[in-house]
Structure 1
């Protein structure tokens, strides 16, 4: 089916990451199967981090192996460092995404590295990809691009500088993340316009949160600036544990409804999507 935009489901990673009750591997696989049946064609399936730090993601390699059985699905995983990228690439992912924070305070809290150290980490990951798996895409998303609960204001010039640096380091694309849910539509338009001017076609996805109820409005603003890739999570699951007070992602069901109602093709069947949301709602309520 032809589509106008890509909606990337991040529930199995970003959504589940802050939840203490662990979803069994077979239920995660069933969830991905249901998302795929509904027409979702990119899923962030897991993060490759030490199991002792994040038990929810201990089965990351098994999840990737199952996801790869779904034809045409782009299997994506979050990796915070070279070791995680090596494990993800060995498991067979099609795409790795690296969180690089625009906020100095958030960078230290989230990945225990400075922003400059994370840029060097992107360079190492890109080089490893070039040497061992050139078919794998490398994305470096700029977290806290619109403000930070730890630091406060994040200068827009620094956001654009970091995006330019990660592209120079070898990332294939760099998008903007509203990790804390601070963004407003005018800010979204301004910063995505600047991003596209700075890195051109390598400008990537909008990863927006709904902390203050502006998630959909911000997605629409990004779309009006030419953004065609959006991250979202079933039932609005998610939220960064290192961004105090920030709640979940844009709701996938709402995002699909909005765009389809506007005549913007997502390739996703809304009725089947509602069937796929049951596991995410169970996790949200603790079932």
Structure 2
């Protein structure tokens, strides 16, 4: 017997549509901010400092979030949406922060340990696991053995999938390098034009198309050996190139046919994927504009690492 759908509050049908398209877009800026696996995978394949990649991703993430906020404001003005009628209460914020203090402390412990050199990003994953288990089981008492086993099963499946992709991508990349395919592609692009901005436009256009059909990790593992020679030939900083690549591929989270965020937002809100896709298109355009801004102004990605001595 199929379970009944939960009762929706009055006005859910109208309010869920904007919420679904906003939520499907909102997670994309943080694909280039720590600690996502895309940054770690790109840093590993590109043989650059993962910590530096993390730091370089902060300001680009803010730029992409700013683009979404501007588009959100414009759409709200056009459609007549307004903020919550519930007044802001600093007391409620402080109470919620107090109750979630140990959970809010987790990013500070993990990132602080990475940036201070106490442990590597790989070791940070182990620290995060034990810290989360301790807080959930001992402090909040919300984790039991069954939940831990379920989490381990899910993590094992995800790790196995990534390892399979990593194996195939490594073999594929080795074949490409041995046959000088990256050099041929780089030479072909440079034979068309030596204008840096046109090359950025071609690279971003290719990455947008790939991101629509391929998972981000797989795309990074396959495309880094192919695209990196182009960056070197044009004198583009590899950190800057990596940040632009991750930001561009992250747009695919919300563009069909892959569109992972679209499926998640559709399942939660009950709005069809087709409707969410059309309504979320302006937010995708805003993200693409932000990506071009990051590409044209490399200091957005490179200033913070340089300021911190990387």
Structure having the larger proportion of residues in helix = 2
Above 0.5 in TM-score?
no
Which of structures 1 and 2 has the larger relative contact order (alpha carbons within 8 angstroms, sep 6+)? 2
TM-score normalised according to structure 2 size: 0.29
TM-score w.r.t. the length of structure 1 is 0.31
